[in-house]
Amino acid sequence: MKKFIILLVAIVMSAGTFAHNISDIDKKLVQSFKSQFPNAQEVSWYELPDTYEVYFIEEGIRTRITYWKKAFLVQFLRHYQEKNLPSYIQYRIKKEFPDKTIHGITELSTITGPEKNVKVVYDIKLVDNENWWTIKLNNDGNLKVVEKFKKAF
């Protein structure tokens, strides 16, 4: 009985996070999205209390965009492979970590304020024969190792 009540509460609480029909989302926002991402596939919109989120794939890159309802703040979260990483970043990684392979990238871009300031942070997963590494690189050029794990053999 306890499990049933907990399950029921979880379902009721999460009901607002299900995908919405596009007609329920702000029409200007949807039109802007369609004009900016005309080749987006597998598009899913979600309405949360303070944001709209849209998930999609474009040119093989999985993307989530978060639009805040009451403030000018937009976030792009993209997951991709080395071939999609800007070449100057690839060069820097290869130069500073020559014996490691780029395994995957998560890019977080945040646009704020009416000036549309952009902050970009790359979380880059590297691998070598013995370890997994996570490095962070931002648009100011700051690079640091944030994690290092031994591989399990």
Tokens at residue 115, please? 């000036």
pLDDT (tens digit, 9 = 90+) per residue, 22-47? 556 778 888 889 999 999 999 999 98
Phi and psi torsions of 134, nearest 5°: -120, 125
Confidence of residue 152 (pLDDT cuts 50, 70, 90): confident
pLDDT (tens digit, 9 = 90+) per residue, 48-107? 899 999 999 999 999 999 998 887 879 999 999 999 999 999 999 999 999 999 999 999
Indicate if the alpha-carbon torsion angle 108, 62, 39, 19 is positive or negative. Answer: negative
Phi and psi torsions of 91, nearest 5°: -60, -45
Helix, strand or coil, per DSSP, at residue 54:
strand
The whole-number pLDDT of residue 20 equals 47
The whole-number pLDDT of residue 17 equals 42
| DSSP, res 152 | P
Confidence of residue 2 (pLDDT cuts 50, 70, 90): very low
The whole-number pLDDT of residue 21 equals 53
Question: Burial code of 60-90, b = ≥16 C-beta within 10 A, e = fewer?
Answer: eeebbbbbeeeeeebbebbebeeeebeeebb
Kindly report the three-state secondary structure assignment for every residue of 81-124: CHHHCCHHHHHHHHHHCCCCEEEEEEEEEEEECCCCEEEEEEEE
